[in-house]
A = this chain, B = another copy of it.
Amino acid sequence: MKILVVGLGLIGGSICKALKKYTYHNVTGCDINHDIEYAALRDVALDNIFDGNLKGFDLIIISLFPEASEKFFADHAAEIGENTLITDVCGIKGKFSERMKKIANENSLRYLGIHPMAGKEFGGYYNSTADLFVKANFIIAPFDDSTEYDVLLLQELAKEIGAGKIVVTTPENHDKMIAYTSQLAHIVSSAYVKSPELGLECGFSGGSFQDMTRIATMNEKMWTDLFMQNREHLQYELDTLIENLKKYSSALKDGDAEKMKALIAEGRELKEENLRHRVGQPN
């Protein structure tokens, strides 16, 4: 296939590198920063730098932040060839995907979103890597009228770049699940570093502190956009967590060891059950 990747950040750059490492597809890339386009060409992450002609691609993968993805598609949909499938890699689907679909329909184009569940605590092209998607979960979120062919095309692509479990779900269910598995984790991490003890912790921490705070470095522009587009689901998950945390706080306040033991046991059992269902799944 002839593939165009729009935006060579952590995800776009990693897709290009993975495509060049693991497939024979012809990869064209573009980035607002031309130095990065040249860097990607030198890294053999691309076959070509985009020349401005949007015709002739089998697949366009828009790898920009949500707002920029919509703007790019709206601005350029009319220039895209009719046999091209358009996708995006945003961590939000739901209404965002519906707006993207509307642009596609108005221009007689095929669109459906994907979300590779991979990332790093630091973004940008220079942190991208060909193996970012290896064994990572990969979500495809088609619409009722998406064709089986388009879903299969993206499933094959996911397999080619090494994805682990590939899930096909609705844009709405994607958002509901991602609020819990990813967005809530980012909020917790961000809030966790706001203790007065943070500046004093050097030498006092183990792996669990690192795990809790690793993703607090998230980019505020992108994540605000993601959170705000998924407000309802995310607030539900966050308030559920706060309510659960309050139970532990009460047990501490009351000095109720039996209550605390029951709360911890409940969590342990839930996590063990969760692990049993994930056998062979690294993520």
Beyond A117-B206, A271-B193, whether A211 also contacts B224 by CB under 8 A is: no
Asked if A180 contacts B201 (CB within 8 A), the reply is yes
| 0 or 1 for each of A212-231: is its CB under 8 Å from B? (1 = yes) | 11111111110111011001
Oligomer: number of copies: 2
B136 near A227 with CB under 8 A, answer no
Which of B209, B252, B265 lies in contact with A185, CB distance below 8 A? B209
Whether B209 lies near A211 (C-beta < 8 A) is no
Given contacts A193-B274, A208-B182, are A216 and B267 in contact (CB under 8 A)? yes
B206 to A272, Cβ gap below 8 A?
Answer: no
* Residue A143, interface by CB 8 Å: no
A20 within 8 A of B: no
For residue A249, CB closer than 8 A to chain B, the reply is yes
Whole-angstrom distance between the alpha carbons of A200 and B217 in the complex?
27
The answer on a CB contact under 8 Å between A241 and B197 is no
Contact check, A214 vs B216: say whether CB atoms are below 8 A apart: no
Does the CB pair B182–A240 fall under 8 Å? no
Contact partners of A139 in chain B: CB under 8 A:
203-204
A277 is an interface residue with CB less than 8 A from chain B: yes
B248:A187 contact, CB within 8 angstroms:
yes
Q: Which residues of B contact A242 (CB under 8 A)?
A: 242, 245-246, 249
Known pairs A188-B188, A240-B195, A248-B190; A210 contacts B283 (CB<8 A): yes
A246 smallest CB distance to B (angstroms): 7
Give the distance to chain B from A73, nearest Cβ to Cβ, in Å: 22
Q: List B contacts of A77 (CB < 8 A).
A: none
Contact with B along A163-176 (1 / 0, CB 8 A): 00111010000101
Given A204-B137, A244-B194, A252 and B223 touching (CB < 8 A)? no
On chain B, the residues within 8 Å of A275 by CB distance are 217
| CB–CB A238/B209 < 8 A | no
Asked if A52 CB lies within 8 Å of chain B CBs, one says no
Binds B, one of A22-30, A82-90, A256-264: A256-264
11 new A-B pairs (CB below 8 Å) besides A137-B206, A199-B277, A242-B242?
A118-B207, A177-B204, A180-B201, A181-B201, A182-B205, A185-B211, A189-B212, A191-B248, A191-B267, A194-B270, A217-B271
Residues on A lying within 8 angstroms of B by beta carbon are 117-119, 136-137, 139, 165-167, 169, 174, 176-182, 184-221, 223-225, 227-228, 231, 234-235, 237-242, 244-249, 252-253, 255, 257, 260-268, 270-275, 277-278, 281, 283
Chosen A-B contacts, 8 in total, with CB atoms closer than 8 Å, are: A137-B206, A177-B204, A181-B209, A191-B244, A194-B270, A217-B272, A225-B257, A238-B252
